[in-house]
Amino acid sequence: MTTKSAAAAARATVYGYPRQGRGRELKKAVEGYWKGRVSAAALHATAAELRRSNWQELAAAGVDEVPTGDFSYYDHVLDASVMVGAVPERHRAAVAADALDGYFAMARGTQDVAPLEMTKWFDTNYHYLVPELGPDSVFTADSTKQVAEVTEALALGLTPRPVLVGPVTYLLLAKPAPGVAADFDPLTLLDRLLPVYAEVLADLRAAGAAWVQLDEPALVQDRTSAELNAADRAYRVLGTLADRPKLLVASYFGRLGAALPTLAAAPVDGLALDFTESAAANLDALAAVGGLTGKRLVAGVVNGRNIWANDLEKSLATLGTLLGLADHVDVAASCSLLHVPLDAALERDVDPQILRWLSFARQKVAEVVALAKGLALGTDAITAELTANRAALASRATSPITRDPAVRARAEAVTDADARRSRPYRERTVAQRERLGLPLLPTTTIGSFPQTDELRVARADLRAGRIDTAGYEERIRAEIAEVLSFQEKTGLDVLVHGEPERNDMVQYFAEQLTGYLATQHGWVQSYGTRYVRPPILAGDISRPEPMTVRWTTYAQSLTDRPVKGMLTGPVTMLAWSFVRDDQPLGDTARQVALALRDEVDDLEAAGTSVIQVDEPALRETLPLRAADRPAYLAWATEAFRLTTGGVAPGTQIHTHMCYAEFGDIVQAIDDLDADVISLEATRSHMQVAGELASHGYPREAGPGVWDIHSPRVPSVEEAAALLRTGLEGIPAERLWVNPDCGLKTRGWAETRASLEHLVAAARTVRAELRPS
């Protein structure tokens, strides 16, 4: 065992860093370029300056190898598509005319050409652009961007390690291009792709990169033996190239499982593994293959996607174990720091007590560097860091913020019965029919109405002190009144108040719940130039007072028709926040569910007969591996039922989800036991109705008949045709009529016309159902 030398040489590194800059310079420059206010040269200059300052910051903090190529004008998977020449046919002319404009055309589309599809990057909230491939795809190497960044970093006297999306993950993330058979498997293109990667690797080596990192996060998902064979072949080919840089194959977001023996045996020079949540599984798997001999192990011990201070002693213990399993151990964050905000020190409004529990990108780099130092020189070399870390962890563990006895006692006392409606659906529906008196095919909307400029101005005026709270609320009430009167006039059956008071469906509630923390500068890239500031589930959650009752009862006072109460569900609250790492997710979900249950109960007590609890994120937090899904779905559905389980049979519970592919969670949707579910369905032509039917879904459903992602107004006939299709799967007594999702991103003009058409379509189809 070469423990001593392995430890002595420990290096600190990361795989990527937040791109936007302290003042969100990148966002401003890119958007400015789109609007014609910033020249291409100025945009390139801003980008180069951001890269320089990031790298120098990393180097100054003690990072030995800086990542290059992780920077992107829009998305690193799109960059990979450009690197291998996978430009869709429809974008070729634009790319040929101007590389930068063509790049943005692929990302965002143009008047005439559709962009690449966008989807979630594994189970994070980052979205990438999906490569489009087909049997005729031809790859060509374009290493310009990668080589340029290596050259820039070398010129600054730094040691660059280019980070590329690995070939196997690239193909596994790809989809058949439009017009290509849906069963086309992009992985069949591997042998065509590898020579292109070989060319890029040779260019990078020639440019001066000693190491190149190939990211293969797709290998932490369940993979078939064909896929594992592809990984084996890919790294056998790349690993045996003559004259190549050293190769580090990186995995993150979970355990490698069956792919670990494959990569451990591959002729590459290093492996990066995630030792955060999947530490035990990866340690066992490493031990099972007899450790990594002759390879560099990069240990991702600092969680790169949460915002909590690392437990340095625990990480050192893991690193110590790893010294027995590899010839050379380096220290890293578990994944790119793209997924966390830049710097916790920018948060001036956070209680300093809590601030030391937090670790954003900058703090994580310091943790990685300290751990590498501790590993190389012994813990004496980092006494100060260990002492401060121990104190921060102790203060978090014992703080009244993280330990609210009342919240804990209540969560512990939850029984099965609390998470169950008192009567089964078939009895509830009778009570609800009687109470609500709705027609067949009742019409409704998903909740939000257009967020107008006036509303944004009102919010800005309030923030700037130009109006007071009373003035602001006056404007909100006026908006609600307008939304109500429009819905009555249009003839909708179940109305909404329109959500004008909400800035965001998670933040609005987070701001009112005790135990949640908001940040001022905690921006994280969602996609392209869109950044979000997820709130932080910092402590035990409770609801000091009602959050929505006022607005819902005001809206209800304006009409005789039922107005839906509108809440964001517990699973979505977790999914779009930073979650606690000091207790199981299910425990946090249960606390949030109990707080929301109070709101549901208060709405009911105030006379609300229909309450919608949105869970658009239920599917997106589905664990990457099938083996982990049942446990997730168990706590997730329990949290929803706990939120809604306290109401009387005659109170109708709705839920909403905005995706069309939900085959793998249809049982979970059933387990929510909501009386009504609205789903996105327009683009898939009501496919969900058939899927619900074949599952035997017993309750009511509203597959959407208006695609709200497009400004297009559906005609009455189109909506009616979709309803008729819906009726093939769902009987008329259980079919609702609604748009795909909320209307907050739409304008009033198309909202008016579309909802009129939707109501007319419902009437048309109702008339067809009535026996003449």
317 residue type, one letter: A
Specify the stretch interacting with Zn ion by CB under 5 A; choose among 410-418, 483-491, 595-603, 734-742. 734-742
Burial class (CB in 10 A: 0-12, 13-18, 19+), 437: exposed
Specify the stretch interacting with ligand GLN by CB under 6 A; choose among 445-453, 553-561, 573-581, 643-651. 445-453
Sites for ligand GLN among residues 338-397 (CB under 6 A): none
| Count of CA atoms in the C-beta half-sphere (13 A) of 38 | 18
709 is catalytic: yes
Strands 536-542 and 514-517: antiparallel
Burial class (CB in 10 A: 0-12, 13-18, 19+), 456: exposed
Q: How far is the CB of 614 from ligand GLN (least distance, A)?
A: 5
Indicate the residue among 167 and 616 with the shorter CB distance to ligand GLN. Answer: 616
Indicate the residue among 358 and 741 with the shorter CB distance to Zn ion. Answer: 741
Say whether residue 653 binds Zn ion (CB under 5 A).
no
By CB under 6 A, name the one of 171, 173, 492, 741 that touches ligand GLN: 741
Tokens of 130: 């999906």
Sites for ligand GLN among residues 142-181 (CB under 6 A): none
By CB under 5 A, name the one of 319, 549, 633, 658 that touches Zn ion: 658
Indicate the residue among 268 and 566 with the shorter CB distance to ligand GLN. Answer: 566
Q: Which does 701 bind (CB under 5 to 8 A by kind): ligand GLN, Zn ion, none?
A: none
Say whether residue 505 binds ligand GLN (CB under 6 A).
yes
* Size of site (CB under 6 A) for ligand GLN: 13
Rounded Cα gap, residues 322 and 342, in angstroms: 29
By CB under 6 A, name the one of 656, 699, 734, 746 that touches ligand GLN: 656
Q: Which does 300 bind (CB under 5 to 8 A by kind): Zn ion, ligand GLN, none?
A: none
Rounded Cα gap, residues 597 and 602, in angstroms: 8
Q: How far is the CB of 356 from ligand GLN (least distance, A)?
A: 34
Helix 279-288 and helix 312-323: axis angle, to 10°? 10
By CB under 6 A, name the one of 18, 304, 447, 646 that touches ligand GLN: 447
Indicate the residue among 160 and 616 with the shorter CB distance to ligand GLN. Answer: 616
Strands 524-527 and 530-532: antiparallel
Q: How far is the CB of 586 from Zn ion (least distance, A)?
A: 24
Spacing of C-alpha 170 from chain mean position: 19
Indicate the residue among 87 and 679 with the shorter CB distance to Zn ion. Answer: 679
| Listed residue (507, 511, 501) closest to 479, CA to CA | 501
Under a CB-based contact definition with an 8 Å cutoff, are residues 229 and 191 in contact? no
Under a CB-based contact definition with an 8 Å cutoff, are residues 707 and 719 in contact? no
By CB under 6 A, name the one of 744, 746, 751, 762 that touches ligand GLN: 744
Q: What share of the chain is helix, strand, coil (3-state, %, to 5)?
A: 50, 15, 35
Q: How far is the CB of 684 from ligand GLN (least distance, A)?
A: 17
Specify the stretch interacting with Zn ion by CB under 5 A; choose among 61-69, 644-652, 657-665, 694-702. 657-665
Specify the stretch interacting with ligand GLN by CB under 6 A; choose among 194-202, 370-378, 440-448, 764-772. 440-448
DSSP state of 23: T
Sites for ligand GLN among residues 595-624 (CB under 6 A): 614, 616
301: CB partners within 8 A, 6+ apart? 275, 276, 279, 310, 315, 318, 319, 331, 332, 334, 371
Sites for Zn ion among residues 602-621 (CB under 5 A): 616
By CB under 6 A, name the one of 566, 611, 692, 759 that touches ligand GLN: 566
Tokens of 25: 């310079």
Q: How far is the CB of 570 from Zn ion (least distance, A)?
A: 17
Rounded Cα gap, residues 597 and 334, in angstroms: 36
Q: Which does 522 bind (CB under 5 to 8 A by kind): Zn ion, ligand GLN, none?
A: none
By CB under 5 A, name the one of 256, 382, 741, 761 that touches Zn ion: 741
Indicate the residue among 504 and 587 with the shorter CB distance to Zn ion. Answer: 504
Distances (CA, A) of 446 to 315, 368, 656, 739: 46, 45, 7, 7
Chain position whose Cβ is nearest to ligand GLN: 742
How many CB atoms are closer than 10 A to CB 554?
Answer: 17
Indicate the residue among 228 and 555 with the shorter CB distance to ligand GLN. Answer: 555
Indicate the residue among 260 and 719 with the shorter CB distance to Zn ion. Answer: 719
How many CB atoms are closer than 10 A to CB 50?
Answer: 20
Q: How far is the CB of 446 from Zn ion (least distance, A)?
A: 6
Q: How far is the CB of 119 from ligand GLN (least distance, A)?
A: 16
Specify the stretch interacting with ligand GLN by CB under 6 A; choose among 2-10, 259-267, 442-450, 663-671. 442-450
* Size of site (CB under 5 A) for Zn ion: 3
Tokens of 439: 């027609």
Tokens of 83: 């690197």
DSSP string, 58-71: HHHHT-SBEEES--
Say whether residue 446 binds ligand GLN (CB under 6 A).
yes
Q: How far is the CB of 660 from Zn ion (least distance, A)?
A: 11
Rounded Cα gap, residues 135 and 24, in angstroms: 40
Rounded Cα gap, residues 138 and 126, in angstroms: 28
Residue owning tokens 């040269």: 41
Query: Among residues 44, 654, 709, 757, which one is catalytic?
Result: 709
By CB under 6 A, name the one of 658, 669, 689, 722 that touches ligand GLN: 658
How many CB atoms are closer than 10 A to CB 120?
Answer: 15
Residues annotated as catalytic are 709
Which stretches of the chain bind Zn ion, using CB under 5 A?
Answer: 616, 658, 741
Which stretches of the chain bind ligand GLN, using CB under 6 A?
Answer: 446-448, 499, 505, 566, 614, 616, 656, 658, 741-742, 744
